[in-house]
Amino acid sequence: MEQFVWTDDLNLGIDIIDAQHRRIVDYIAEIGQAIEQQDAALVFDVMERLKDYTLDHFSFEEQLMQKAGYVLCEAHQAKHRRFEDKVERLSDSLRQGDDPFGVARRIRNTLMAWLIQHIKHEDIDYVPVVKKVLAKEQSWISGALNRIFNGGVTQS
Ligand SMILES: [Fe+2]
């Protein structure tokens, strides 16, 4: 059975990133609720929030990897761009009038599967180097969070 909820094995052990990943999973779960309730407006609404938040999260993660001097940063960024393309195509398909619940199921299934494998196989790899930078760059982190998320996210 496919998974659409947060489970502890998705934790990287970096609270600030785990909280952001968890929020993306919450959006995906909300898409599931929109399908259950057959609420098309909610599908559109969640899709917009999911897209905006994911872009901000990637931006934060990429700046953090750069700051940390993570060697696979560019390859990782390329993965993010491909995911953004996926999200963009799904969003276009919604806007073009495709069945919103069909698109919603694709959003839920493909995005969740991608996210799980990305966290477990790619994000996990930057953990040691990013942990080091987090320990000594607290003011840079706060500044980056405010800049990227417009102060709309907490560090917990
Ligand atoms: Fe990532």
Residue 130 maps to a domain: yes
Q: Which residues surround ligand 1, an ion (CB under 5 A)?
A: 123
Cα 117 to ligand 1 centre (Å)? 10
Residue 82 maps to a domain: yes
Q: Domain range for residue 61?
A: 13-147
Cα 35 to ligand 1 centre (Å)? 27
Residue 8 maps to a domain: no
Q: What is the CA radius of gyration of the chain?
A: 16
* Burial call 36-50: b when 16+ CB within 10 Å, e when fewer: eeebbebbbebbeeb
Whether the Cβ atoms of residue 43 and residue 103 lie closer than 8 Å to each other: yes
Q: Give the pTM.
A: 0.88
Residue 127 maps to a domain: yes
Cα 138 to ligand 1 centre (Å)? 20
Sequence-ordered strand ranges (E) for 1-61: none
How many domains, in total, are found in the chain?
1
Cα 118 to ligand 1 centre (Å)? 6
Cα 51 to ligand 1 centre (Å)? 15
Cα 122 to ligand 1 centre (Å)? 7
Distance, C-alpha 84 to centroid of its chain? 10
Cα 58 to ligand 1 centre (Å)? 6
Residue 59 maps to a domain: yes
Residue 153 maps to a domain: no
Residue 58 maps to a domain: yes
Cα 59 to ligand 1 centre (Å)? 9
Cα 132 to ligand 1 centre (Å)? 17
* Per-residue pLDDT of the chain in tens (156 residues, 90 and over written 9): 466 788 899 999 999 999 999 999 999 999 999 999 999 999 999 999 999 999 999 999 999 999 999 999 999 999 999 999 999 999 999 999 999 999 999 999 999 999 999 999 999 999 999 999 888 888 888 889 899 997 555 544
Cα 154 to ligand 1 centre (Å)? 19
Q: For residue 57, what is the domain's CATH number?
A: 1.20.120.50
Q: Would you state the torsion angle of the CA atoms of residues 131, 137, 142, 148, taken in this order, to the nearest 10 degrees?
A: -70
Q: Is 99 helix (H, G, I), strand (E, B) or coil?
A: coil
Residue 155 maps to a domain: no
The count of C-alpha atoms lying within 13 angstroms of the C-alpha of 12, restricted to the half-sphere facing its C-beta, is 27
